[in-house]
Amino acid sequence: MLCVKIASAAAWAQDEFGKAEVDDARWRRRLVLVAEQAARRPGGKVTEVISGAAERQGAYGLLESSAVAASAIAKGMFRACAERCASEPFVFCPTDGSSLTLVDRAKKKFGPVGSRNFGIQGLKVISVLAVSAEGVPLGLAGQAWWTRAPEPPKRHRHYRKPEEKESRYWPEAMAQTREVMRACAPNTRVWFQLDREGDAWPILQQADADQHWFTVRGAHDRRVLLASGKKTYLRALVASQRVVTRYDLTVASGPQREARTARMEIRACRATLDFRNKRTDRHFSKPLNVVLARERATTPPGEKPIEWLLVTNRPVVTAEELQQIVFGYSQRWRIEEFHRSWKSGVCRVEESQLRSSEAAIKWATILAAVATRVERLKLLSRKEPDRPATDEFSAIELRALKLLRFGKSGNKATGRATVPTLSEATLWLAQLGGYTGKSSGGPPGSVTLGRGLTQLQAAARALEALDPSCD
């Protein structure tokens, strides 16, 4: 069983950033305090999260100080994630890009995001989220940030070198992940999960470095080299294979996706793919496993059936290993859920209005860690609902939770000596945040959990102040 503690806000902040590569111990303590307050009261603006004039001044000092690099804060977060992964034989690592739209009226702090015609400013980022084999987020293991130039490149992308393209940030974030795993979780294999944007030869050329695995959703019908010397194309080759296995895949709901159990058919084969550098017209080949997963007879009206063409270096011998490849790619949704919690959900990072790009990245990094914490709690309550709540909440947090949810009758309603399950405690927490049950359209989400955490942490701190001897 996976055992990852959410822990109190203070303990979590110490675990997450206490080993950050910040030389001055005073700044490191300040970083931990700021992260603790962000975990207690998630929000987009520093003024919303940090209470007290002195604390707020200290937070701004940290974010604006040239003595504390954004990369040092990030490395502390990556290390904490890798240490959580150390007991796992492998972790799925959904990898994806996003952009933060930020206030920049003078257009001097950031760069364009989206279409340059709209004049929207912000930052670009590639993130690597580590997810357990059971599908529970463990933290961020890599992030690569950049600011786009005000003017578009003069040369077409086909004629630019790999190091001149934005796709170069994918290998950078993946290299960060391999490096921190090598240092803190040397026995854990990374299994990168890339969407179609990752189907580019410079990315695939190094994705399997250090014997790690990758799965990428094919965006191109690539040429395949046959043993006979003839050439064919990827889709035709794998579609011609017999169905190897059928199984059920749990599909989470989404903006344009109905939750369901999809019946999947899987075809697979080994193929040598022919990659071409369009700038130089040079070719290189790479033997990989190809998996075609198609949904049959379970697609809701108005939706397209699930169909994934997956290319992977994961060795395949059994039907169970094929199913694991498809399941692993389905965990790529976890990074979309992280982006939602980070950007527009519980953390609302795009509301920040800091003075510089470096300060914005520091603050965004802290809030990214908070977003993964909330996502982890959400998923643990669904994957392991019968775990005792004491695995994730301290005794005083459970006491505060009962008081907030049930008032003075909390012990009678729940049983003084009875430890609630994680599912029960998470439900109470979500109800504090406005969750109304079935009318909300599903299990508690990160927004209601984040609101509940804000109330819970304030109440727990009040109880600690009234009775310092309680634990």
CB-CB contact of 224 with 234 (8 Å): yes
Among residues 252, 243, 246, 266, the alpha carbon closest in space to that of 333 is found at 252
| Contact yes or no for 430/454 (Cβ under 8 A) | no
**pLDDT at res. 459:** 85
Distance CA 133, CA 184 (A): 18
Q: What is the pLDDT of residue 8?
A: 72
**pLDDT on residue 3:** 42
pLDDT for position 2 = 42
* Tokens found for residue 148: 């786009």
Residues in the chain with pLDDT values less than 50: 1-5
Distance CA 230, CA 420 (A): 64
Q: Which two tokens stand for residue 64?
A: 């604006």
pLDDT digits (tens, 9 = 90+) for 158-190: 777 878 889 999 999 999 999 999 999 999 999
Q: What pTM was estimated for this model as a whole?
A: 0.88
Domain parsing of the chain, residue ranges: 385-466
Instruction: Identify residue 261 by its one-letter amino acid code.
Output: T
Burial status of residue 29 (CB atoms within 10 A of its CB: 0-12, 13-18, 19 or more): middle
Q: What confidence tens digit (pLDDT) does each residue in 293-309 have? A: 999 999 999 999 999 99
pLDDT at 163: 81
**pLDDT computed for residue 469 by the predictor:** 60
Structure tokens at 92: 């799925």
Coil, strand or helix at 286: strand
Q: What's the token pair of residue 270?
A: 């080994």
* DSSP run (H or E) holding 4: none
What single letter denotes the amino acid at residue 262?
A: A
Burial classification of residue 231, based on how many CB atoms lie within 10 Å of its CB (0-12 exposed, 13-18 middle, 19 or more buried)? exposed
Per-residue pLDDT, 445: 83
